[in-house]
Amino acid sequence: MKMKGILAPAVLLALVATSCMQAPKGDKVDTGDAFKITPYEHGQELKADVALSKIDWLGTKPGGEHFGTLSIKEGSIFVEKGQILGGKFTMDVNSIAVLDLQNPEMNAYLVNHLKSADFFSVDSFPQAYFEFSSIVPITHNHEEGEGFVPTHRIDGNLTIKGITKSISFNALIKLDEGRLQASTPQFLINRTNWKVNYGSQSIIANLKDNIIHDEMGVAVHLTAY
């Protein structure tokens, strides 16, 4: 009985530690070598409405998280006869914002750290890009958490810090009278694929309490017309 009394708190602490170590929720995207993309020379061009478009991001660490937004600087989507052919949009990495820290000094410190060479090296790589390779309708829709039902599977190339990798994810896309609205549930990318290695236990040994999970959450909201 005495041994059980000793083990119970230890088991509880182990469970708490395990829960604190969990990465963000969402499907991990398939990542690989860049797709070969043929330029689009036909179709109607829809321009991204940058005021209504954004990227939500989430980073986690044991016992905590930070989240915020990233602005879309410009973008074009090409459509023809109600079908989406492809396109590309540019993200302004210098616009990265932190929404969970209300203290101005702490907020500014984290924003500047994210812009530094430890993370996204904004001085050298002020922009990131996503270019569509294929947009395929999903014929057998299924719910993906919180009532999200995707309509399309998207393949494309994501470029961060000058490194281009292919990714694939699901999206809900509505195209009506020359207006396109696209959104995704939160999905996960492994930041170390783009050499964002700060705090990565898989890259840097003996980090102790300074671990940041490799997977970061991303959700896309894009409006174009």
CATH code where residue 66 lies = 2.40.128.110
pLDDT at 139: 84
- Residue 41 domain flag: yes
Task: Report the alpha-carbon distance of residue 164 to residue 128 in Å, rounded.
Answer: 10
Q: Does residue 13 form part of some domain?
A: no
How many CB atoms are closer than 10 A to CB 19?
10
Q: Is residue 4 part of a domain?
A: no
For residue 15, being part of any structural domain is answered with: no
**Is there a domain that residue 184 lies in?**
yes
How many domains is the chain built from? 1
What is the predicted pLDDT for the residue at 25? 86
Alpha-carbon gap, residue 20 to 207, rounded angstroms: 16
The answer to whether residue 9 is domain-embedded is no
Q: Provide the β-strand partners of residue 189.
A: 216
Determine, yes or no, domain membership for 120: yes
pTM of the model as a whole: 0.87
Do the domain assignments include residue 7? Answer: no
Give 48's DSSP letter: B
Give the structural domain span for 37.
23-224
pLDDT in tens, 209-224: 679 999 999 999 999 9
* Mean of pLDDT over the chain: 88
